[in-house]
A and B are shown apart, each in its own frame.
Chain A
């Protein structure tokens, strides 16, 4: 699905990612864990195409194409999705309207017929159930006046509607209470599919209790120092990150 090779990224002249190597196959779920400031969010933002990140070295290949060459919307059309750590409010812009524009732009790009309002509403209602999102949210402004938990649920709802091939969940678990976490996790689990890969960026092991990753990576100081299976997350929870650093230095 995606192959990242020796990726170096700077923000404002400061190097944040220092040679990332990562390969994620179709249908796999990877978790990227690491302490604050290790570069986790930078990695997901670079993949999604946010401005202000300078790639100084390395490459990102997605479905055989050079991902870094594409504009953010082109990446979305190709199936990349980022669930934001801090979803943005866009007052007055209807939540459903935004999604419909996104879905149809993608369909157009793929040479498919655009969905009409009726077809789209049907799709949206079905997906809203998945994350137990009240119908009233559909007609509200994008994230306008949503609580923290509602915003995160809205992200997963959007993911469900857009049906990406590669979903990046940037700290989707932060700020969620247990009930909300369970709902979000249920949504993500339902969306697991052989042709869909998921990357979860998180601080805590907690989320991984609900969404079981195939691979766990430890990102420290801009480098992936260790990778392992789900048990690695438990070990990190118990022992922290310093031992990974020490092990890598040794």
Chain B
């Protein structure tokens, strides 16, 4: 512990930071920093000013905002929800002081704690996740600090994007919005106008990032709020594995989320991006829960670049998400592995886009959807082979598993082929957890609930295998916890 303290001292200890906040009357400052609901140019200017952003970024935001005003909310997804009043949302709220969080785990929703316990999350981490204002957070700061030193040695930049705007403006300006343009879609435009924070990762040429980069260890990831923006750049011959989220449900008061993630992979670079999304799904009757409208896109800008998306989505009331790959470089590879679970009244419309532009580009899509209760989900995928994409290949497999008779699964595959040399394979199955399978397991001495977990985990195996080891184990457990009481 003393060791750790020394390390963080150079950047002022958390204790100091906390006490300084108090001395400075930071709490009242925060109140002044929270904007009233509503969105107009002044709000955009205010956000930019609060972050002391350069002129170019303000202009970029304003352009995005103006564009957003001309757009209408998309309604093609197979989900339904009451209209969102974008003027009723507050678009800037300074990071909450520790003082606003629960003082101890006693003040945290017992249901949330129950889930943490089932997932086997240590007490310290539970406090961190639940936003408890205690030492656990300080520990994490120390972890983050140690972490940063190690990355710095190899030249990897991993920091909040607001920090990157300040410290590496030329990098941010060069890449921001080049994969997902500001006006790409309704939610991306909204995000571009009002994003508050997110992650920035830069891997220099030839560097293999020495550890998995996880938002979990980046203390600043807390309360980045509704409009997160992530930008990851992998230079030639570099490699990075990035983990987003964690298996424990996170405390979050915002209902509307519209994040943007941009990945850029240059020649021979590889990016592996894994997500476990377990936000509040709402209650049994569909009340509450997060609306998750995300734009995630990767561009294989260089030859032989490779991007792999792996996602496990079990949270949110509504998920609207299509992590995509633009395969521009010749011989570049895009992969999408997804498990989505919808239960109670959750709705998910998720899938991917694989845009083949370069020659000999390859893409793989493996999507596993599980629906229980009154859950409803759709796979929506586009594979586009451009006219110059000689010898492009795609393999798509989408499987749906239904539990109970009130759940639904739909598949919307779109294929556009403009080059006759393309090879396309598509497999799709829909199955129900059969009474036969359950009885088979039971007759071997396995209880019904364990049998369901076993069958579901077996169904998800191809995707879980793609997750980093530690995540995969947690994902298994997460499915079990999520499915509790889903059968019967």
Contact = CB atoms under 8 A, between A and B. Distances in A.
A91 B441 contact: no
Nearest to A81: B443
A106 B443 CA distance: 11
A101 B454 CA distance: 10
A93 B456 CA distance: 9
A106 B445 contact: yes
B291 to A, nearest CB: 32
Contact of B440 (A52, A90, A109): A90
A48 interface: yes
Consensus secondary structure, chain B interface = helix
A102 B437 contact: no
A162 B455 contact: no
Interface stretch (A68-76, A220-228, A241-249): A68-76
Contacts of B447: 71, 73, 105
Interface string B424-458: 00000000001111011111111110100011011
A102 B450 CA distance: 10
Instruction: Name, among A80, A93, A94, A142, the residue most crowded by chain B CB atoms within 10 Å (CB to CB).
Output: A93
A211 interface: no
A76 B458 contact: no
Contacts of B445: 73, 76-77, 101-103, 105-106, 109, 162
A82 B448 CA distance: 17
A52 to B, nearest CB: 8
A112 B443 CA distance: 20
A140 B476 CA distance: 19
A93 B458 contact: yes
Given A72-B439, A88-B436, A92-B462, A105 B446 contact: yes
A141 interface: yes
A48 B459 contact: no
Contacts of B446: 73, 98, 101-102, 105
A158 interface: yes
Contacts of B434: 88
Given A50-B439, A72-B439, A91 B444 contact: no
Contacts of B462: 92
B440 A84 contact: yes
Instruction: Name, among B441, B444, B446, B455, the residue most crowded by chain A CB atoms within 10 Å (CB to CB).
Output: B444
A48 B445 CA distance: 11
Contacts of A215: none
Contacts of A102: 441, 444-446
A77 B436 CA distance: 19
A49 B443 contact: yes
A43 to B, nearest CB: 15
Contact of A71 (B436, B441, B442, B455): B442
B444 A92 contact: no
Contacts of A98: 441, 444, 446, 454
A93 B455 contact: yes
A180 interface: no
Given A51-B435, A82-B443, A84-B440, A92 B461 contact: yes
Interface in B295-335: none
A131 B157 CA distance: 58
Interface string A97-139: 1110111011001000000000000000000000000000000
B460 interface: yes
Given A51-B435, A88-B434, A73 B442 contact: yes
Contacts of B455: 90, 93
Interface string A141-152: 110000000000
A87 B439 contact: no
B444 A99 contact: yes
A72 to B, nearest CB: 4
A90 B458 contact: yes
Nearest to A50: B439
Contacts of B444: 76, 98-99, 101-102, 158, 162
Nearest to A84: B440
Contacts of B450: 101, 105
Nearest to B464: A92
Contacts of A48: 439, 443
B456 to A, nearest CB: 9
Interface in B97-127: none
Contact of B439 (A51, A101, A142): A51
A191 B448 CA distance: 28
A91 B433 CA distance: 11
Contacts of B459: 91-92
Instruction: Name, among A49, A73, A97, A141, the residue most crowded by chain B CB atoms within 10 Å (CB to CB).
Output: A73
Contacts of A49: 439, 442-443
A53 to B, nearest CB: 11
A215 B439 CA distance: 29
Contacts of B454: 90, 93, 97-98, 101
A42 to B, nearest CB: 14
Nearest to A83: B443
Given A49-B443, A101-B446, A92 B436 contact: no
Contacts of B440: 84, 87-88, 90, 142
Interface of B: 434-437, 439-448, 450, 454-455, 457-462
Given A101-B450, A141-B458, 13 more contacts: A71-B442, A73-B442, A73-B443, A73-B445, A77-B445, A80-B443, A90-B454, A98-B441, A102-B441, A102-B444, A103-B445, A109-B445, A142-B440
Q: 7 closest Cβ contacts across the A-B interface? A: A92-B458, A93-B458, A102-B444, A76-B445, A72-B442, A102-B445, A92-B461
Interface of A: 48-52, 71-73, 75-77, 80-82, 84, 87-88, 90-94, 97-99, 101-103, 105-106, 109, 141-142, 158, 162
27 contacts: A48-B443, A49-B439, A49-B442, A49-B443, A52-B435, A72-B439, A75-B443, A76-B443, A76-B445, A77-B445, A80-B443, A87-B440, A88-B434, A90-B440, A90-B455, A90-B458, A91-B458, A93-B455, A94-B458, A97-B454, A99-B444, A101-B454, A102-B446, A105-B445, A106-B445, A142-B440, A162-B444
